[in-house]
Structure 1
């Protein structure tokens, strides 16, 4: 879910194109912080994006909160270098928390997420090396994105509205559609658990799942004020997500809503 944008006019791609002042793809300017766009899950599945910016007072589903140059170590990197994803995770996730006003746990339980974009492949081959981080109104399992406010800055400060918190609509948490908690749902993400520190090695699938399950059983019971009977679910991640920087699992409570 991490990608990049560079608007390339057809004329700019062709050498000269009848204009001796045509800008090369390497000289194209990166997008600006604060730009808003109408992005879809299909757009976010791509590594680059040239969707035209719209006024943030108009309907939009994405807002750019960080733009910059990639580190020098990626100057000679391939377009699909695996290290880029891990670098983008650390950079965009940190900026995402600061932009929304949330901590590690809260950003795991919100319906909004982030995506990153790099230059187009042609621009990359020509030497462009920049990144763009966008907050988007949905996650990986969202069918559609929700509309964002004029600016999402500080969106999760204080006690966030249910509009921005994530719930799940389905018989089980796994594979269910994730929706804002203002929509009909069966599950609500209520707590998270950290499975290790930044420098810790991945504990393995079995230990990660068992630790998550045991914690969520107790944590959800406490969140529900210790009822006699209750259902809970949990979302845990694998080594690929761990290597990218994620250290948390999510606990879900079965709700009557």
Structure 2
């Protein structure tokens, strides 16, 4: 009888040990998947950590933390890698705040970014289980799949939807009091421009058309052509198929 109980005990111990190991392996994979990594062809960027008043230099291939404010260098191209699949390309002299990089909800992680100024090419087409929440000027949006081009100059926002369809909220924020002014669904091939004139109309509850067709000239712009070439290049420093260690070496 005793050997039988020992056999059961050993069997249960093995099962529990296997489950224990698999749990931590899967947790490590999830944590790695939720990382937000900063890269730059200049090899560095500037970071202001949460509750700090001093800017520090960070190197390329750095994991960002919640609350980080990042500035990209002059004459540079940078990138954020989200969850090992989606990414954001960033032009020179751009800045943003990463509000939440490692969300506690491991089943549906979410990253929140506040785009302060600059140019951002947002590509969230590769892992639709993860959401990106964006705040830029007077626009709020959340997406888990789409290709967006955003230009921000503090209160001026120009947003192009290149793939997918997104719902945006136009808000007014005065003294930390948020007021929803309008909502729009924007499809691929259209852009949104929010500036002072548009805000004046919306705050007075007047109608104005701020959703426009993307101009034909856009496809020949330097920013579009560079991003398009990076998408097609097998040697791109921001090709998500490449290992992180090779990113800077492969930059074109």
Q: TM-score, normalised by structure 1?
A: 0.23
| Between structures 1 and 2, the one with greater strand share | 2
